[in-house]
Amino acid sequence: MDATPDIKTTVPKAGLTGARTIRFGWILLSILIALIAGFVALLQAPDPQPTKPKKSFLEWLRYPVETNPGLRLQSGPGQLNSIAFGGNGKDGLAVGSGGIILASTDGGETWTAQNSGVSSTLWDVYCDATCKQAWVVGNGTILVTNDGGNHWNARRLEAVDVRRINVRKGGTAAWAVGYSSLSNIWATRDGGQTWQKTENQNSGLEGLCSDEQGERGWAVGKSILRTMNGGASWSVQNVGGTSAFLLAVSCSSDGQHAWAVGNDNTVMSTNDGGDHWNPVSLEPNPPPRQLTNVEFTSDGRRGWVIGEDGVIFATVDGGRTWAKQVSGTNVYLKGLRFDAEGKRGWVVGGSSTILSTKDGGLSWVTRASSAFSHLFSIHLDTAGTAATAVGTAGTIIATRDGGVHWASQSSGTDQGLYGVYFLPDNQRGWAVGQAGTIIATNDGGANWTAQKSPLAVTLNAVRFNSNGRQGWVVGSSGLVLTTNNGGQEWNMQQLQPRVTLYSVYFEPEGVRG
């Protein structure tokens, strides 16, 4: 009997093949989604308000998620030291290193740079109720404006590094404190035209405040000084609770309550007009830290203290208890201002950091430093494609594609540049600025070389005729410089009255201007 072979029939597994095809399709789709998401993430701009507590769905899609916004590298110009706002809470000024003055007209949402005319560090700024009249002080410098900063007038205090200013009586009277071998307290009663020194032996002062009448006030540094007669005389107070150097002081409108802060987490307070000062603890076992500024509302109830490492402390009971607020940054904070109600406030510090709050500090919003460029002048060719802009610390940037891309150029100077001009060929150009700086290029800015100025004053604008030989420069004190050889030699004129000149224009033939 023949054996019947065992026949095995294989049935095609169509379902399995389909499943494999579906899985492969999902893999391709996942890869495509990941590539698109990565590409979109590369295009996302940094969040201008990385510490905003609640974000809309559109904001969540538009900006990347940042878990440590305080560690973001800033692109601003440097340290900001002080900030002030007018009574409307919209018009404000901030000042800092390198002669920086920034202005805001929208409550600190956006900022633009102003021409201070100086390169020294600016330490403090004061605004009146409208912020039209303002005072700025720095190293050997007092600047005053009556038009919101469109024009700043310098009133120098030679050999004085001015750190704080207290302005009273409608801008006619003021005290200023700082570092000087002559005196550390200065006073004016004529709007800053003249200053009188107050003799004292204190080794440098950093903070200053006064009561509403301007009769009682305090100045702090290595010690605490008090005046009871409008600054005519000052006396050293006994502060037995600390030997730390003090950096700032704030006082109530009645002159009975005052608070001073400084090195080593030091906070001192008085409730009897300065007869007795007592130490205050903000938190248990704090790390070594410098507290840089303090501010209280006029009733002495609500107050804030700021310092290094981005710390902000707040009180609502006159300083009996303090709570730490979340600043969202770890930079050195220096300047502090709040409105009369203690709701809207601003803080400035290192890396051009600007913080603002509308709820007394319960939430702080970072105003990104990259929002302002600190460029003071730009020259654009007739085609609208080539442009060169100049600004602080010798900054020069140029574009050749109508502003789509910008490239930095090496100016060879760290002085602020306030004016720039190029001939129609876009190759020969000149830039002018602080300390009599004049630089020129013959290759479109690839190389800049210095030209000799007859006077080391601030130069604000430059212009040349079409052949590039005849040129004009204007600046402070009515100064006009002229050249007939492309800037190899500059001749000086001085117009009367000696006012600051900000712009110059001549027709192409160089006759009418």
Q: Any idea how long the chain is?
A: 513
Q: How confident is the model at residue 3 (pLDDT cuts 50, 70, 90)?
A: very low
* Nearest of 212, 211, 258 to residue 239 by alpha carbon: 258
Phi, psi of 59 (to 5 degrees): -65, -35
Q: What is the pLDDT of residue 480?
A: 85
* Nearest of 120, 108, 185, 183 to residue 152 by alpha carbon: 120
The pLDDT tens digits for 320-373 are 999 999 998 888 899 999 888 899 899 988 777 888 898 999 999 886 443 344
Percent of the chain residues past pLDDT 70, beyond the cut:
78
The set of residues, in sequence order, having a beta carbon less than 8 Å from that of 195 and lying 6+ positions away, is 157, 176, 186, 187, 188
Mean pLDDT computed over every residue of the chain: 80
Segment 5-21 shows an average pLDDT of 51
CA angle in degrees (0–180, nearest 5) for 390-393-397 = 30
User: Distance between CA 467 and CA 502 in Å, rounded?
Assistant: 24
User: Distance between CA 349 and CA 82 in Å, rounded?
Assistant: 8
Say if residue 109's pLDDT is above 60: yes
| Domains assigned to the chain | 76-371 (2.130.10.10), 375-494 (2.120.10.30)
User: Distance between CA 130 and CA 139 in Å, rounded?
Assistant: 26
196/292: higher pLDDT: 292
Q: How confident is the model at residue 91 (pLDDT cuts 50, 70, 90)?
A: very high
Among the ranges given (71-75, 98-102, 353-357), the one the predictor scored with the smallest mean pLDDT: 71-75
Say if residue 438's pLDDT is above 80: yes
Q: Is 433 helix (H, G, I), strand (E, B) or coil?
A: strand
pTM of the model: 0.60
Segment 492-509 shows an average pLDDT of 68
User: Distance between CA 125 and CA 123 in Å, rounded?
Assistant: 7
The set of residues, in sequence order, having a beta carbon less than 8 Å from that of 331 and lying 6+ positions away, is 70, 74, 310, 349, 350, 351, 353
CA angle in degrees (0–180, nearest 5) for 303-360-358 = 145
Segment 199-228 shows an average pLDDT of 82
User: For 347-410, what is the HEC assignment?
Assistant: EEEHHHCEEEECCCCCCCEEECHHHCCCEEEEEECCCCCCEEEEEHHHCEEEECCCCCCCEEEC
Q: What is the pLDDT of residue 43?
A: 52
Segment 395-416 shows an average pLDDT of 78
Segment 466-476 shows an average pLDDT of 83
The pLDDT tens digits for 255-314 are 889 999 999 999 999 999 888 899 999 988 888 889 999 999 988 899 999 999 999 999
Q: What is the pLDDT of residue 26?
A: 77
The DSSP bridge partners found for residue 31 are none
Q: What is the pLDDT of residue 76?
A: 43
Q: How confident is the model at residue 132 (pLDDT cuts 50, 70, 90)?
A: very high
